[in-house]
């Protein structure tokens, strides 16, 4: 079969209501009211994790994980005990169930939880895992979430991989409705993490690791214009979030995925500002955020893969709404690449094997009129904000501006280098890692 794809959205777990503009929104598992708009950001700091002694680790991938990414698959297997001992449990409840897949009987075309589970299990075995098995919990097998036999299967594993799809299906499958409490299977996985297991996930499988205010969808422009909305929406362009969050494996910052290829920095910044979070980890595709000791004061993160992770810091930022629309001032933008490390407690970074790069370009930074890679622009460019940031880093200029493609209002992003700024390079000529650029957004 081909790599798993997603064909449809899940049903709400308990009930549906009709929200603003006739949009269908799921409210079954949250029960929180929208955060009040305020120019001052509240503080949900990186130190708010509650676990005292996290032992396990996370490998959270921004989607688009290539089958041949031996670096990331190898890291998961190594953390699960190495090729001789790694036993990987595959969870794919974010996919449609077989009962909703018209190609369920065709191994070459199927795309559902069961066949995607078999696909990933085979892939992990090809990459050297001693064993990999599908954990049979999805919308067709909800009762299995509290099955003692499936719990025993989970307890025999040394690592877990959550596949992509729609993270709300994980909420529906593995959490208990309005109580938002763990099923037996999720409780067993959580206990395995605390005992040293690795939990990995890609796309929705990474997003479900989020703590409070897990993103459920949305494009950057409507998020900047209208703000984030609590709930799960049938329209994936609506900026929604679950106030009670996902599984809460990672709480030191918000998570976003497919960042550069979908221009999602804008929606991440707006959600963080609206909900009072200081840090966002915005993951690019085929790239992992590796987290040691999650939920403890010893938590540390490292980037692994072919692109990078944007760390968006709002700890000193202010936000509000003016005459023309929403604005954000004094946020910080860092772009970390493979090998870079970050301490969420202190904000310190380490960049082994990279050195400072002197700017060499004297021409102005190229104009960018689609900084968030709008789906409305057929000629847009992925990794657009990163492109402007790297062009600024390579130039002798100190400031660059870029704007949204949409104009009602138009949002302008201004990036400003700190004093004595230098990007970091791994090859001697490309600005790979960018640290602590000031980021401002204004509406016009």
Give the pLDDT of residue 240. Answer: 96
pLDDT in tens, 31-88: 333 333 333 343 333 333 333 345 899 999 999 999 999 999 999 999 999 999 999 9
State how beta strands 424-425 and 355-356 pair.
antiparallel
Q: What is the pLDDT of residues 273-291, one digit of tens each?
A: 999 999 999 999 999 999 9
d(CA 255, CA 365): 29
What are the structure tokens assigned to 75, written together? Answer: 């890291």
DSSP 337-399: ETT-EE-TTT--EE-TT-EE----B-SPPPP-S-TT--TT-TT--SSHHHHHHHHHHHBS-SE
Asked if 417 contacts 383 with a C-beta cutoff of 8 angstroms, the reply is no
Question: Are the CB atoms for 305 and 335 separated by under 8 Å?
Answer: no
The tens digit of pLDDT for each residue in 121-173 reads 999 999 999 999 999 999 999 999 999 999 999 999 999 999 999 999 999 99
State how beta strands 287-292 and 326-337 pair.
Answer: unpaired
338: pLDDT strictly greater than 60: yes
Strand partners, 61: 202, 288
Torsion (CA) 150, 94, 303, 375 in degrees, nearest 10:
180
Backbone angles phi, psi at 373, to 5 degrees: 45, 65
The rounded distance, in Å, linking the Cα atoms of 386 and 173 is 36
What is residue 15's predicted lDDT score, i.e. its pLDDT? Answer: 27
Contacts (Cβ under 8 Å, ≥6 apart) of 126? none
Q: What is the pLDDT of residues 378-402, one digit of tens each?
A: 999 999 999 999 999 999 999 999 9
- The full length of the chain comes to 444
- Does residue 21 carry a pLDDT above 70? no
As a whole number of angstroms, the distance between CA 161 and CA 100 comes to: 23
- Concatenating the DSSP letter of every residue in 71-93 gives HHHHHHHHHTT-TTT-EEEEE-T
The CA-atom distances, in angstroms, between 381 and each of 64, 357, 392 are: 17, 25, 17
């Amino acid at each position: 079969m081909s790599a798993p794809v997603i064909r449809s959205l899940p049903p709400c777990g308990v009930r549906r209501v009709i929200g603003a503009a006739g949009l269908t929104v799921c409210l079954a598992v949250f029960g929180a009211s929208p955060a009040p708009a305020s120019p001052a950001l509240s503080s949900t700091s990186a130190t708010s994790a509650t676990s005292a002694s996290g032992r396990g680790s996370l490998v959270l991938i921004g989607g688009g994980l290539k089958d041949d990414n031996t670096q990331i698959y190898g890291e998961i297997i190594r953390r699960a005990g190495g090729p001789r001992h790694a036993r990987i449990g595959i969870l794919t409840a974010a996919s449609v169930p077989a009962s909703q897949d018209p190609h369920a009987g065709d191994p070459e075309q199927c795309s559902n939880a069961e066949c995607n589970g078999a696909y990933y299990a085979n892939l992990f075995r090809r990459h050297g895992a001693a064993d990999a098995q599908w954990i049979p919990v999805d919308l067709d097998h909800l009762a299995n979430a509290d099955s003692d036999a499936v719990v025993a299967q989970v307890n025999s594993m040394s690592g877990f991989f959550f596949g992509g799809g729609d993270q709300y299906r994980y909420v529906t499958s593995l959490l208990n409705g309005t109580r938002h409490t763990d099923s037996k299977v999720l409780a067993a996985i959580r206990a395995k993490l605390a005992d040293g297991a690795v939990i990995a996930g890609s796309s929705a499988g990474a997003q479900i690791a989020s703590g409070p205010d897990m993103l459920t969808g949305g494009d950057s422009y409507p998020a900047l214009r209208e703000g984030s909305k609590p709930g799960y929406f049938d329209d994936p362009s609506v900026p929604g979030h679950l106030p009670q969050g996902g599984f809460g494996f990672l709480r030191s910052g918000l998570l976003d995925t497919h960042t550069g290829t979908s221009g999602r920095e804008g929606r991440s910044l707006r959600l963080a500002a609206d909900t009072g979070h200081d840090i966002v980890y915005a993951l690019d595709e085929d790239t992992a955020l590796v987290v040691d000791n999650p939920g403890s004061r010893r938590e540390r993160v490292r980037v692994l893969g072919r692109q990078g992770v944007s760390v968006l810091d709002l700890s000193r930022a202010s936000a509000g709404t003016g005459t023309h629309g929403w604005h954000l001032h004094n946020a910080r933008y860092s772009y970390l690449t493979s090998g870079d490390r970050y301490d969420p407690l202190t904000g310190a970074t380490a960049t082994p094997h990279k050195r400072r790069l002197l700017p060499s370009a004297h021409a102005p930074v190229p104009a960018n009129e689609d900084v968030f890679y709008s789906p409305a622009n057929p000629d847009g460019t992925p990794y657009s904000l990163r492109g402007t940031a790297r062009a600024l880093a390579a130039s002798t200029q100190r400031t660059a501006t870029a704007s949204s493609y949409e104009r009602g209002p138009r949002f302008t992003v201004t990036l400003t280098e700190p004093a004595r700024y230098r990007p970091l390079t791994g090859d001697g000529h490309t600005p790979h890692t960018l640290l602590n650029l000031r980021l401002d957004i204004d509406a016009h």
